[in-house]
């Protein structure tokens, strides 16, 4: 009996940015579990969305569908297509696997608010066709619900009556914002452009303007000075789940053209947000000490030794500024660290508990149930299936 013909999967994703290369890794990870899969891949730059090469006889496609002509050509192939772009071309309901932009926006907003920012802003310059922004509205709503103010570059730019913005115009927008300000940039490219505008306008990062990118790119974020904090969108998981969805299509299962969001893993904190934007210097001092030492054998009494405040005064200031007590902030930091490790590593539960500052695995389990209403194992399973709230 002759061996089964391999299933040839065209992976039409750019290979020049971190998000896309991690998507490719995720697809490759799934493909290793499928002995009949053969991945077809060519180097591509950002925005280079040529179709499937004529000499490729493919059974399925994973790609970023952004343009009508591209979508029409893919539709004529007569094979399953999985879209890993945030765009959705009207009339072409390809199944879509994407990072959860709304969850990313909430993570970025919480990251900035926890650093004391009450003046926040969102920076997006439209450079992607057939895209509906979900990040900006979610970011603004999250900020306003917590008593902050939020400025949107999109609203300011409407006065210009055109789509693009020059460096000088971005500088003028920055000058209009109340300082200090924490800004979410839609992606790393726009975060890098924002950093250039800050440098040109003379604003210090992170003291006057703190920047977090809504999507990590190892090159752009780290070549920036200072390096940019960014949301880890779980892009490798996007690739893995896109491949799994394609496998279902190839097996003959009916898959509708809905979006399948993948939960982000957390915020990669770098120097662009390494600041506490609060006038209360005693509280800032105590909070900085707590955050630097949260994953060791730390107690609230250790924090008290770092600030000339009584326990009652410290509690009151924590609750007024952060909305929770020092002990609750310590639990919050440890749970967040454990969540990051549960989603991003295969470590055992005892190793994660120790790394996150819990003295025992049982204590971590109890805190998870109380704070998140689920066990660490349930959280890990949900994170890996992209179903984390």
CB within 8 Å of 135: residues ≥ 6 apart: 101, 102, 104, 105, 122, 124, 184, 186, 214
Q: Residue written as tokens 């969850």?
A: 103
What pLDDT is recorded for position 4? 64
Write out the two tokens for 98.
């994407």
Do 39 and 223 form a contact (C-beta atoms < 8 A)? no
Single out the residue of 61, 100, 54, 101 nearest to residue 83, CA to CA: 61
What pLDDT is recorded for position 185? 95
User: How would you write the pLDDT of the chain (389 residues) with one tens digit per residue?
Assistant: 445 678 899 998 888 888 889 999 999 999 988 888 999 888 777 666 667 878 888 999 999 998 899 899 999 999 999 999 999 999 999 999 999 999 999 999 999 998 889 999 999 886 688 888 999 999 999 999 988 999 998 776 655 445 557 888 889 999 999 999 999 999 999 999 999 999 999 999 998 999 999 999 988 898 888 899 999 998 999 999 999 999 999 988 888 878 889 989 889 989 899 877 666 777 777 887 888 888 888 887 888 787 777 888 888 888 877 778 888 888 888 988 898 888 778 899 999 999 999 999 999 999 999 988 889 998 888 776 655 55
Convert the pLDDT of each residue in 54-113 to its tens digit.
Answer: 888 899 999 999 889 989 999 999 999 999 999 999 999 999 999 999 999 999 999 999
Find out whether the peptide bond into 226 is cis, omega within 30 degrees of 0.
yes
What pLDDT is recorded for position 48? 63
Domains of the chain in sequence order: 7-99+235-264 (3.40.50.2300), 101-233+267-273 (3.40.50.2300), 281-376 (1.10.10.60)
What pLDDT is recorded for position 41? 86
The model's pTM: 0.77
Q: Where are the beta strands (DSSP E) in the chain?
A: 7-12, 37-41, 60-63, 81-83, 96-99, 119-123, 149-152, 181-185, 209-213, 229-232, 259-262, 266-268
């Amino acid at each position: 009996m002759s061996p089964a013909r391999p299933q040839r999967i065209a992976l039409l994703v750019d290979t020049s940015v971190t998000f896309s290369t991690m998507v490719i890794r995720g697809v490759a990870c799934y493909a290793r579990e499928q002995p009949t899969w053969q991945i077809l891949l060519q180097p591509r730059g950002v925005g280079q969305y040529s179709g499937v090469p004529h000499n490729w006889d493919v059974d399925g496609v994973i790609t970023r569908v952004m343009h009508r002509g591209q979508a029409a050509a893919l539709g004529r192939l007569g094979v399953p297509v999985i879209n890993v772009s945030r765009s959705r071309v009207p009339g072409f309901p390809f199944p879509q696997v994407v990072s959860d932009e709304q969850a990313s926006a909430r993570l970025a907003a919480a990251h900035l608010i926890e650093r004391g920012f009450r003046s926040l802003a969102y920076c997006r310059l439209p450079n992607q066709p057939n895209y509906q922004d979900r990040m900006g509205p979610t970011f603004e709503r999250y900020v306003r619900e917590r008593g902050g103010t939020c400025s949107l570059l999109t609203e300011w730019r409407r006065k210009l009556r055109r789509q693009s913005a020059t460096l000088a115009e971005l500088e003028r927008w920055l000058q209009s914002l109340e300082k200090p300000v924490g800004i979410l940039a839609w992606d790393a490219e726009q975060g890098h452009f924002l950093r250039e505008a800050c440098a040109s306008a003379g604003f210090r990062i992170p003291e006057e303007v703190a920047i977090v990118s809504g999507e990590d790119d190892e090159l752009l974020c780290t070549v920036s000075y200072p390096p940019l904090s960014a949301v880890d969108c779980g892009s490798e998981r996007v690739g893995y789940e896109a491949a799994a969805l394609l496998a279902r299509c190839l097996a003959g299962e009916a898959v509708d053209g809905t979006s399948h969001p993948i939960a982000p893993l957390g915020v990669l904190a770098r120097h662009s947000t390494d600041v506490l934007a609060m006038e209360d210097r005693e509280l800032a001092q105590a909070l900085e000490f707590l955050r630097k030492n949260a994953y060791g054998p730390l107690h609230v009494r250790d924090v008290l030794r770092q600030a000339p405040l009584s326990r009652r005064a410290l509690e009151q200031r924590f609750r007024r500024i952060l909305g929770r007590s020092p002990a609750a902030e310590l639990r919050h930091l440890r749970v967040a660290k454990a969540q990051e490790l549960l989603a991003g590593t295969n470590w055992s539960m005892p190793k994660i508990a120790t790394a996150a500052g819990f003295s025992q695995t049982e204590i971590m389990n109890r805190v998870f149930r109380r704070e998140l209403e689920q066990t660490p194992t349930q959280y890990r399973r949900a994170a890996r299936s992209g179903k984390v709230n």
